[in-house]
Amino acid sequence: MVEQKTKRGFTIIELVVVIFFASLLLVLFFLQKLNLDAMHRDEQRKEAINAMYYALEEGFHAKNGYYPEKISEENLTVMDPSLFTDPGGVNLGREGSTYSYEAANCSNGKCKEYTLKAQMEKEDTYIKKNRS
């Protein structure tokens, strides 16, 4: 009696299919990670703008009765100074920053209104305006 040997292993087609699906899963994972990272940076931006807003309203305006023409670590001492730096490492007021502060109705450095903005990656621009 002749003994038949069976070949063990995978065919080329099986290997190609497995590699294709593994690559597809890897691409989907990478894209989702990029999306989650962008959403996290957007949340950091909102947190920073909200901190500036409350520092302006509850700290600076409550004490002085007006808003500053420009904001910085020097005049908003009640908040964490690192929040003036956007997730890209650029400080508020510098070129390329995703944060902006625009004062309005100013006289001698004392302003009645302002607008804080953060350029978001996954959402529309985040905007906070003065209360009064």
pLDDT at res. 5? 66
Q: Is residue 7 part of a domain?
A: no
d(CA 59, CA 1): 96
Task: Assess contact for 40 and 123: CB atoms under 8 A.
Answer: no
Q: Which domain holds residue 23?
A: 13-129
pTM of structure? 0.79
Question: Per-residue pLDDT averaged across 10-19, rounded?
Answer: 90
Q: Is residue 8 part of a domain?
A: no
Question: Per-residue pLDDT averaged across 113-118, rounded?
Answer: 97
Q: Mean pLDDT for the chain?
A: 92
Residues with Cβ within 8 Å of 119's Cβ and at least 6 positions away in sequence, in order, are 45, 98, 125
pLDDT at res. 4? 67
Task: Assess contact for 52 and 73: CB atoms under 8 A.
Answer: no
Distance of CA 129 to the CA centre of its chain: 19
Q: Is residue 102 part of a domain?
A: yes
Question: Per-residue pLDDT averaged across 89-118, rounded?
Answer: 95
What are the backbone angles phi and psi of residue 83, rounded to the nearest 5°?
A: -75, -10
pLDDT at res. 8? 77
Domain count along the chain: 1
Q: Is residue 6 part of a domain?
A: no
What are the backbone angles phi and psi of residue 54, rounded to the nearest 5°?
A: -70, -30
